[in-house]
Amino acid sequence: MQRAIASFSQDELGDWVAHLVCGHRQHVRHKPPFWSRPWVLTPEGRAEKVGLPLDCVLCDRFEMPASFAAYKRTAEFDETTIPAGLLRDHTTKAGVWAVIHVLAGRLRYVVEPPLQRDEILEPGRNGIVVAEVPHRIEPLGPVRFFVEFHRAVT
Ligand SMILES: [Zn+2]
């Protein structure tokens, strides 16, 4: 899916890396004739690209950004205490991912476009919530679960 560029940094070899709003990083090398991105070599060129999208395959794969860590979690819910907002399509904030942990029973987890997934969560099978992607859950009988939120470690 498409993710906007938030900023740039250089790796240990001096190659440029784009930091995307989802938390993922992607090399944007200028190595002709393989990759031609002369704009990446100047501050002005990079500044013009901030806010423009790159295709993020790590988001497509539901891969939590490597530098992320849990910072808070919800209370434990069951089929009678699930907040109504979780049953309708909703999203996390920019740069916030989550993990749905099922302690007992089963939850249906539906992810809407631009990603798409419809799966059953149960103990040992967590749901990964990709930042800003609409999703909802639905209890399949008695269930106990909580949601853990992750963001970049600063
Ligand atoms: Zn991403």
DSSP secondary structure letters along the chain:
-EEEEEEEEE-TTS-EEEEETTS-EEE---BTTTB--GGGGSHHHHHHHTT-EEE-HHHHTTPPPTTEEEEEEPPPEETTT--HHHHS-B-PPTT-EEEEEEEEEEEEEEE-TTS-EEEEEBTTBPEEE-TT--EEEEEEEEEEEEEEEEEE--
Q: How far is the CA of 4 from the centre of ligand 1 (A)?
A: 9
CATH number of this structure's domain 68-152, picked from the four choices 2.30.110.10, 2.130.10.10, 3.90.1150.10, 2.60.120.10: 2.60.120.10
Q: How far is the CA of 113 from the centre of ligand 1 (A)?
A: 15
| Residue extents of the structural domains in the chain | 2-60, 68-152
Q: How far is the CA of 95 from the centre of ligand 1 (A)?
A: 9
Ligand 1 ion: Cβ-proximal residues, 5 Å cutoff: 3, 22, 24, 56, 58-59
The rounded mean pLDDT for the chain is 96
Q: List, for the chain, all residue ranges whose pLDDT scores fall below the cut of 70.
A: none
Q: Give the predicted TM-score (pTM) of the model.
A: 0.91
List, for residues 86-126, the tens digit of each pLDDT value. Answer: 999 999 999 999 999 999 999 999 999 999 999 999 999 99
Return the pLDDT at 11: 95
